[in-house]
């Protein structure tokens, strides 16, 4: 017959280790209620001393505070253990103290007689001194260090989190490593905060030790005299020595634990433990040891001084310094090559690792803007930037490179800077926790605050407090938070410079993505008909004029159809624009059946057609005519915008590319289209005619 015994789930998951904590707490609480025999008290007091020594040694051999992250809990448990032992020993002392000094066990008797010589006056003084050292010096200092460390750790968290995000965005670390570092930063803050609170347990334990001592002395005298009919001298001797022994056997482990706490919070995290740091940093300079040995030798010569002690220590320090000097010279002598073999050291060769690539897109912020990019402080800028990249990919048809974010102490506290391929292309200021009220042109009142301009579009604006938001919206202002200000500015720059962000690598990624659905189409075009660079240039030309490249199938089809006739990027771009005409009109006039456009006066159009013939890339207009055209174009664009219409100029196909490049500098929002790009189903209505004269 086979029998199977099911193991409890707790043991299955954690084994016996899972029972240690609950059992220990239950035993500690039981000691406060159940009477303990003297022998068991001896074992428990010895266990308390052993735990204190273990904690001290572990704190000496840890290299980083987080290696002993359970220390605040250990501090609480050991404090509770000492207090429970005090309660148990007090019960035994008061009940059996009349029988003699060993009534509470051999450990308390040893501490009461051997350590203080059986003199309770000396014992009380020694006990008070130990309590003062523990309470005033060690515990207070350790608590203060823990408090300051917790504050500095919390203040440094945004910068550390930002450094992790920057490394993650730069690809230096992976998601798992970033998650581990963030958890370590959080644990570090929790550790020092817990240590700050746990130090209060030790201070309270010291106060409780003093009160327990005097309670045991007074209570013992009353019990011995009135219940057991002892004379005052005998009662004072028995109960006072027992109380002192009980206090010392608890305070010495408490002092050891407090010292361990001070070591844990006061050390600087390195790859060495405390012993290695002491030897390596305190006794590593022979000159210091020689000077100290000389001073001790001079003091030993003075009459009345303990000559032997001073001379012994002076000789030991001088010997140690001499040994360190010889040890430092020994490797050099043994490793020194023959004189004829001595060669100058080779300089390290320069490698490609010394070449640091620039970021395609970069965002640098001042230190007061760190909360905008810190997840722990509910910063939304990182999420908004991811949303910008996603929306841009959906609208324009390709994915822009990641934005590398870092802090820059050279910037003003509230300033930020946007760079493209290492070159600054935008800057501004934002105030965390405040709102930017933008004047769209028609507002009902003025607002108090810091006057500025919207960094994205140059509109007049004012920074206001959060409680003024409703009032600003009532006046007709457009109110946005600081994260939206930076994100909008970044989005506008990405839109403006989208053509520069489409490199050969991004173009190849586009083709690879398309080849998953239409492999033959891509294989036929690149590299059989067109090189990758020509395809990239065509796509950049489209993006430069605000045309999305989502319809890559049509673009590739058109390029394949025309590649046999021309390899010129401008001609191929014009052919692609005609093929994308319906999409271009939909982008400019969403849902409109009638297109309101501006046109050129026929005479001016003929002049430009003749001027463009044979001029290559330029129009070849006389300066007066060109200046007049620019002025009329700027006025017409403003007129179209005031009517709520898009600024679109309709010209012949031969002039479209030339006029687009010529007028883009003075009117970036102007769209120049050709007759061939308009679908047959659309109606045209001319709203403005640009003439040759003002």
Q: pLDDT tens-digit profile of 304-356?
A: 777 788 788 888 888 888 888 887 776 544 444 555 544 555 556 777 777 77
248 neighbors 112 (Cβ within 8 angstroms): yes
Q: Residue holding tokens 């100058």?
A: 344
Angle (nearest 5°) at CA 110 between 108 and 113: 105
Q: How confident is the model at residue 260 (pLDDT cuts 50, 70, 90)?
A: confident
Contacts of 534-537 spanning 24+ positions with Cβ under 8 A: 534/567, 534/569, 534/572, 535/507, 535/511, 535/559, 536/502, 536/503, 536/504, 536/507, 537/569
Of residues 11 and 72, more confidently modeled: 72
Q: Confidence class of residue 418 from pLDDT cuts 50, 70 and 90? A: very high
3-state secondary structure 136-157: HHHHHHHHHHHHHHHHHHHHHH
- 108 contacts: CB under 8 Å, gap ≥ 6: 41, 45, 89, 93, 242, 245, 246, 249
| Mean pLDDT, residues 398-404 | 91
The least confident of 119-123, 252-256, 315-319, 658-662 is 119-123
Average pLDDT over residues 296-306: 80
Return the pLDDT at 3: 44
Residue keyed to tokens 């290696």: 67
Q: Say how far apart CA 650 and CA 678 lie, in whole Å.
A: 9
pLDDT at position 571 is 93
| pLDDT interval class at 210 (50, 70, 90) | confident
User: Which residue in 581, 492, 506, 565 sits closest to 539, CA to CA?
Assistant: 506
Q: What is the pLDDT of residue 12?
A: 47
What share of the chain in percent tops pLDDT 90? 27
Distance CA 177, CA 165 (A): 11
Helix residue spans in 417-529 (DSSP H): 469-475, 482-496, 498-501, 504-515, 519-525
What average pLDDT does this structure show over 397-422? 91
With a cut of 60, say whether residue 136 has pLDDT above it.
Answer: yes
Q: What is the mean pLDDT of the chain?
A: 81
Average pLDDT over residues 586-615: 85
**Are the beta carbons of 143 and 193 closer than 8 angstroms?**
no
Is it the case that residue 694 has pLDDT exceeding 60? no
More confident residue, 584 or 644: 584
Q: Which range, 137-146, 562-571, 612-621, has the best average confidence (pLDDT)? A: 562-571
Q: How confident is the model at residue 117 (pLDDT cuts 50, 70, 90)?
A: low
Q: Which of 581, 602, 689, 688 is nearest to 652 (CA)?
A: 602
Asked whether the predicted pLDDT for residue 615 surpasses 80, the reply is no
In angstroms, the CA 635 to CA 124 distance is 98
Phi, psi of 36 (to 5 degrees): -115, 140
Q: What is the pLDDT of residues 505-523, one digit of tens each?
A: 999 999 999 998 888 889 8
Q: State the pLDDT at residue 13.
A: 47
Q: Which two tokens stand for residue 336?
A: 């020194």
- State the pairing for strand pair 478-481/435-438: antiparallel
Q: What is the pLDDT of residues 429-468, one digit of tens each?
A: 999 889 999 998 888 888 999 999 999 888 999 999 998 9
Average pLDDT, integer, range 519-548: 92
Pairwise CA distance, residues 580 & 297, whole Å: 96
Residues listed for the chain: 694
Please name which of 660, 671, 678 lies closest in space to residue 592, comparing C-alpha atoms: 678
Of the two residues 445 and 235, the one the predictor is more confident about is: 445
d(CA 139, CA 133): 8
Cα–Cα distance, 78 to 588 (Å, whole number)? 75
Out of 216-230, 277-291, 416-430, least confident range: 277-291
pLDDT for the residue numbered 680: 87
- Check whether 54 has a pLDDT greater than 80: yes
The lowest-confidence range among 174-188, 539-553, 566-580 is: 174-188
For residue range 18-52, what is the model confidence (pLDDT) as tens digits? 677 777 778 777 777 777 787 888 888 888 888 88
Instruction: State mean pLDDT over 373-399.
Output: 85
Scored b (16 or more CB within 10 A) or e, 151-164 reads: eebeeebbebbbeb
Tokens of 225: 């005299």
Place of tokens 């010394």: 354
**CA dihedral defined by 472, 478, 483, 485, rounded to 10 degrees?**
-120
Q: What residues contact 105, with CB distance under 8 A and at least 6 apart?
A: 38, 39, 41, 42, 45, 89, 92
The pLDDT value recorded for residue 396 is 92
Residues 592 and 656: beta-carbon distance below 8 Å: no
Token pair listed for 80:
């509770």
Cβ pair 126, 243 in contact under 8 A? no
Rg (CA), the chain: 42
pLDDT for 275 equals 66
The residue assigned the tokens 């490199």 is: 503
Least confident piece of the model among 99-108, 283-292, 622-631, 662-671 = 99-108
pTM surpassing 0.85?
no
- Strand order from edge to edge, sheet including 460-464: 450-453, 460-464, 435-438, 478-481
């Amino acid at each position: 017959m086979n029998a199977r015994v099911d193991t409890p789930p707790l043991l299955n998951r954690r084994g016996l280790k899972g029972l240690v904590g609950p059992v220990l707490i239950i035993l500690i609480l039981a000691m406060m209620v159940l009477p303990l025999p003297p022998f068991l008290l001896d074992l428990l007091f010895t266990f308390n001393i052993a735990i204190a020594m273990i904690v001290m040694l572990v704190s000496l051999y840890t290299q980083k505070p987080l290696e002993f992250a359970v220390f605040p809990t250990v501090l609480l448990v050991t404090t509770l253990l000492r207090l429970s032992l005090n309660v148990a020993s007090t019960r035994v002392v008061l009940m059996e103290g009349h029988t003699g000094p060993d009534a509470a066990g051999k450990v308390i008797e040893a501490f009461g007689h051997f350590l203080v010589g059986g003199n309770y006056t000396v014992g009380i003084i020694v006990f008070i001194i130990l309590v003062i050292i523990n309470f005033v010096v060690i515990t207070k200092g350790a608590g203060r260090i823990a408090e300051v460390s917790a504050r500095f750790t919390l203040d440094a968290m945004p910068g550390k989190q930002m450094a992790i995000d920057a490394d993650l965005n730069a690809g230096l670390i992976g998601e798992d490593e970033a998650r581990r570092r963030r958890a370590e930063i959080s644990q570090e803050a929790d550790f020092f905060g817990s240590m700050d609170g746990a130090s209060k347990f030790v201070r309270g334990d010291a106060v409780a030790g003093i009160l327990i001592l005097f309670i045991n002395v007074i209570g013992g005298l009353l019990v011995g005299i009135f219940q057991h009919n002892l004379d005052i001298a005998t009662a004072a001797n028995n109960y006072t020595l027992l109380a002192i022994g009980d206090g010392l056997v608890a305070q010495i482990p408490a002092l050891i634990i407090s010292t361990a706490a001070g070591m844990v919070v006061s050390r600087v995290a390195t790859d060495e433990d405390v012993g290695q740091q002491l030897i390596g940093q305190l006794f590593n300079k022979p000159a210091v040891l020689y000077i100290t040995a000389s001073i001790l030798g001079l003091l030993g010569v003075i009459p009345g001084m303990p000559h032997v002690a001073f001379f012994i220590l002076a000789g030991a320090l001088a010997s140690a310094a001499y040994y360190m000097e010889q040890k430092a010279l020994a490797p050099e002598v043994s490793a020194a090559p023959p004189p004829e073999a001595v060669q100058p050291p080779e300089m390290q060769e320069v490698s490609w690792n010394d070449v640091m690539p620039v970021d395609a897109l970069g965002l640098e912020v001042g230190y007061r803007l760190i909360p905008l990019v810190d997840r722990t402080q509910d910063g939304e800028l990182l999420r908004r930037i991811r949303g910008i990249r996603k929306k841009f990919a959906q609208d324009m048809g390709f994915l822009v490179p990641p934005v590398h974010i870092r802090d820059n102490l050279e910037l003003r506290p509230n300033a930020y800077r946007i760079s493209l391929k290492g070159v600054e292309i935008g800057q501004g200021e934002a105030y965390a926790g405040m709102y930017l009220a933008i004047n769209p042109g028609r507002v009902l009142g003025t607002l108090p605050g810091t006057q500025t301009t919207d960094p994205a579009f140059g509109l007049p604006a004012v920074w206001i407090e959060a409680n003024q938001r409703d009032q600003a919206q009532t006046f007709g202002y457009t109110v946005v938070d600081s994260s939206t200000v930076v994100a909008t500015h970044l989005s506008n720059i990405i839109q403006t410079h989208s053509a520069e962000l489409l490199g050969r690598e991004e173009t190849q990624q586009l083709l690879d993505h398309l080849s998953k659905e239409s492999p033959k189409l891509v294989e036929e075009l690149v590299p059989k008909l067109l090189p990758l660079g020509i395809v990239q240039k065509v796509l950049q030309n489209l993006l430069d004029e605000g045309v999305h490249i989502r319809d890559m199938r049509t673009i590739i089809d058109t390029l394949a159809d025309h590649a046999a006739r021309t390899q010129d990027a401008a001609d191929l771009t014009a052919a692609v624009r005609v093929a994308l005409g319906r999409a271009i009109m939909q982008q400019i006039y969403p849902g409109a059946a009638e297109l309101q456009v501006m046109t050129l006066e026929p005479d001016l159009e003929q002049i430009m057609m003749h001027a463009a013939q044979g001029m290559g890339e330029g129009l070849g207009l006389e300066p007066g005519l060109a200046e007049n055209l620019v002025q009329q174009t700027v006025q017409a664009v403003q007129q179209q915008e005031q009517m709520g219409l898009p600024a679109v100029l309709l010209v012949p196909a031969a002039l479209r590319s030339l006029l687009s490049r010529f007028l883009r500098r003075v009117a970036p929002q102007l769209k120049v289209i050709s007759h061939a790009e308009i679908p047959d189903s659309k109606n045209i209505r001319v709203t403005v005619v640009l003439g040759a004269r003002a």
